[in-house]
Amino acid sequence: MDNQLKDVLVRGTAWDGKIRVFAARTTQLVEELRQRHGTYPTATAALGRTLTAGAIMGAMLKGKEKLTIQVKGDGPIGQIVVDANADGEVRGYVDHPQVHLAGNAHGKLDVAGAVGRSGHLHISKDLGMKEPYRGSIPIISGELGEDFTYYFAVSEQTPSAVGLGVLVDTDNSVLHAGGFIVQLMPGLTDAEITRLEQAVGSMPPVTALLDQGETPEEILRWIVGDSDLQIHGTMDLTFRCSCSAGRVEQTLLSLGEHELKQIIEEDGKAEVVCQFCNEAYTFERPQLELLLAQAKPKPIQ
């Protein structure tokens, strides 16, 4: 398979509109985050699964809407944070990227051990209202797919099936990453719900399908069948960070005169590293002195 296939998301409906379906390939995105943050395999898988869920949930938004996912478990990787928007732009980081654990009982990467089996999953959506929508659930497994499934059932009252996967190569690079979210709309019969559960339960892992060269659309056909799927759109997925030198300047300015003066006297320069993209911004003494002049209170006329 050509591992340089671009990251893409497809969305559609099936079974006469009674289920909404989303599937994504996120291999290049997860690999870019691995390279930027230097994640070890288990941390790569945890961050990659969360990023994939974020990319798909971003596709459920409209216009300028965006969301932030925070996974705060009691495992060694600490917090996972992912931002996504309706345009397919995502970014993310994990507190402790250099975490790798022995495989779990199934010989897979022990994501639950890295994330922790207790803690919370928080989701905040900026929908253009005065206050963002916030949903929160306790972590129920730490494997993340089950946790997002629980989130949709409890916080959004939308029964859903969530599958997320990251396959790491022997050189620690990302071989495949992707996932799906299938949401049940009102009107499904018990027989259809059983059919859906059986289809999701019996399908191979997402990464196994990607490894066979299957596309996100073909992954959805595994779940809903060939004839029942209607694709309503596809979207390229890209890494994008909103940090900039200007934003970092504003952050330094917000420290105030006293702290800026202290930085100049003690260090002579400042280096600020963006958590999301690991980009470093260095401000030498002359730049800091200009910021200090701006930070000083203006005399009253």
Sign of dihedral through CA atoms 6, 9, 14, 16?
negative
Say what percent of the chain tops pLDDT 90: 70
Three-state DSSP class for residue 106: coil
Q: Give the model's pLDDT for residue 288.
A: 86
Q: Give the model's pLDDT for residue 4.
A: 60
1 occurs within a structural domain: no
Instruction: Give yes or no: residues 122 and 254 share one domain.
Output: no
Residue 88 has pLDDT above 60, yes or no: yes
Q: Give the model's pLDDT for residue 121.
A: 97
pLDDT, mean of residues 63-89: 96
Which one, of 177, 223, 138, 174, lies nearest residue 54 by Cα? 177
Q: Give the model's pLDDT for residue 19.
A: 95
Residue 157 has pLDDT above 90, yes or no: yes
Instruction: Give yes or no: residues 69 and 215 share one domain.
Output: yes
Give the residue numbers spanning the domain of 69. 8-239
CATH number at residue 249: 3.90.1280.10
Backbone angles phi, psi at 19, to 5 degrees: -135, 140
CATH number at residue 137: 3.55.30.10
Burial of 147 from C-beta contacts in 10 A (0-12 / 13-18 / 19+): buried
Helix pair 190-202, 216-224: axis angle to 10 deg: 130
Instruction: Give yes or no: residues 286 and 215 share one domain.
Output: no
Q: Give the model's pLDDT for residue 66.
A: 96
Taking CA 91 as the corner, what is the angle to CA 85 and CA 95, rounded to the nearest 5 degrees? 135
Record the pTM: 0.89
pLDDT, mean of residues 211-230: 91
Q: With DSSP H G I counted as helix, E B as strand and the rest as coil, what are the percentages for the chain, rounded to 5?
A: 35, 30, 35
Q: Give the model's pLDDT for residue 285.
A: 87
pLDDT, mean of residues 151-176: 95
Give the pLDDT band (50/70/90) at residue 280.
confident
Query: What are the tokens at 159?
Result: 């029964």
Distances (CA, A) of 124 to 61, 129, 131, 287: 12, 12, 10, 36
Q: How far apart are CA 110 and CA 203, in angstroms?
A: 21
Residue 296 has pLDDT above 80, yes or no: no
In this structure, the number of other CB atoms found within 10 A of the CB of residue 256 comes to: 13
Instruction: Give yes or no: residues 233 and 260 share one domain.
Output: no
Question: pLDDT per residue over 5-57, tens digit each?
Answer: 899 999 999 999 999 999 999 999 999 999 999 999 999 999 999 999 999 99
88 occurs within a structural domain: yes
Q: Give the model's pLDDT for residue 293.
A: 86
Q: If you average pLDDT over every residue of the chain, what do you get?
A: 92
287 occurs within a structural domain: yes
Side chain identity at residue 66, one-letter code: K
Instruction: Give yes or no: residues 97 and 231 share one domain.
Output: yes
Q: How many domains does the chain have?
A: 2
Q: For residues 60 and 117, is the Cβ–Cβ distance under 8 A?
A: no
